[in-house]
Amino acid sequence: MDGTVLLDALKKHLAKKFETAKISDVALASALDLPSSALVTYRGKNLTPAQVVRLMEKYANAQKSALIDSAVIPIVEFFPLEPIKSTRSNHWQLFSTADDHL
């Protein structure tokens, strides 16, 4: 496969994904988790299937890392809950309404 054709197809895919008209080589290299100077080694050359697979793996891993980095991390605080006997009835409450627990 021609490296230029593959890189151009990746640029087109990224432009569609990010809803932009054009993707720079720097952005493409970042999406592939490569230095931008490494793109020269793929342009205009006939790539072996192993090189294509490595590029696709790099792209998948970079996208996975970006997804993990942008994911919302919930902040949850756990504290023990013990039932409290209601002062007015025989019911139990999770939280006391008495002023002495403030």
Q: What is the three-class DSSP state of 59?
A: helix
Q: What is the pLDDT of residue 101?
A: 47
pTM of the model: 0.64
Distance CA 78, CA 51 (A): 49
| Positions in the chain whose pLDDT score sits under 70 | 97-102
Q: Measured at the alpha carbon of residue 17, what is the angle toward residues 67 and 73, in degrees to the nearest 5?
A: 20
Establish if 19 belongs to a structural domain.
yes
Is residue 87 assigned to a domain?
Answer: no
Whether residue 26 lies inside any domain: the answer is: yes
Whether 21 is in a domain gets the answer: yes
Tell me which residue range forms the domain holding 56: 3-70
Tell me how many domains the chain contains: 1
The answer to whether residue 23 sits within a structural domain is yes
The answer to whether residue 18 sits within a structural domain is yes
